[in-house]
A and B are shown apart, each in its own frame.
Chain A
């Protein structure tokens, strides 16, 4: 399984963009990059995923480098409610282990007033 490396923790000022990096240098061609977050005492919540193109939805943007060895999750205007642990996951293809999620340690993002 491709492993991910994320900073243990980050701070961000409220209203500013939060940029969360993730390294996945051993990713293979058919593996997707997924991002989930987990607010304290809640279950993880899906944010976004991508293969090689940049993606955007109502929650965030995902920027994947051309060589796919790293990615950045961008929360454009962070609020206090975005304080959570953010997990970057490289997901095996459906043909490999049924595409299960394997969580790493994640980045603890603290959004400060």
Chain B
């Protein structure tokens, strides 16, 4: 089945130690998103890629970076994790939003990676 895969499902890192979370997709979607979801809160968009074009949300801290080496993969890098960065990180994909297809902007989410910062 076509899907969005996130590895690992659980990640533990130390305060200040860089960490990378990965996302891959078999849907061949143009757009990939990264969301942060803290405990008991709603998902919050950090940034997204439209093909290779990177779009950062205005309030995303510089500590968060992303790479998309090809259509299938996207990475979230946290350069110096703080205790406040402990959260579930969700990757999502969608088709090209400009195609005009009725469900063009349905987002498909992965299961998430739960990050713990010690």
Instruction: Please give the residue numbers on chain A whose beta carbons come within 8 Å of chain B beta carbons, in ascending order.
Output: 38, 41-46, 49, 87, 91, 94, 98-106
Contacts and interface: CB of A to CB of B under 8 A. Distances in A.
B97 A102 contact: no
A49 B104 CA distance: 11
* Chain B interface residue bracket vs A: 20 to 34
Given A43-B90, A106-B42, A101 B98 contact: no
Nearest to B110: A43
B109 A94 contact: no
A43 B50 contact: no
A8 to B, nearest CB: 11
B109 A43 contact: yes
A46 B93 CA distance: 12
B55 interface: yes
Nearest to B100: A94
A59 B42 CA distance: 22
Contacts of B55: 98
A101 B90 CA distance: 13
B82 interface: no
5 contacts: A42-B111, A100-B45, A101-B45, A101-B107, A106-B42
A103 B42 contact: yes
B44 A91 contact: no
A105 B42 contact: yes
B45 A102 contact: yes
B48 A100 contact: yes
B7 to A, nearest CB: 14
Contacts of A49: 106
A98 B42 contact: no
Contact of A104 (B42, B92, B97): B42
A46 B117 CA distance: 30
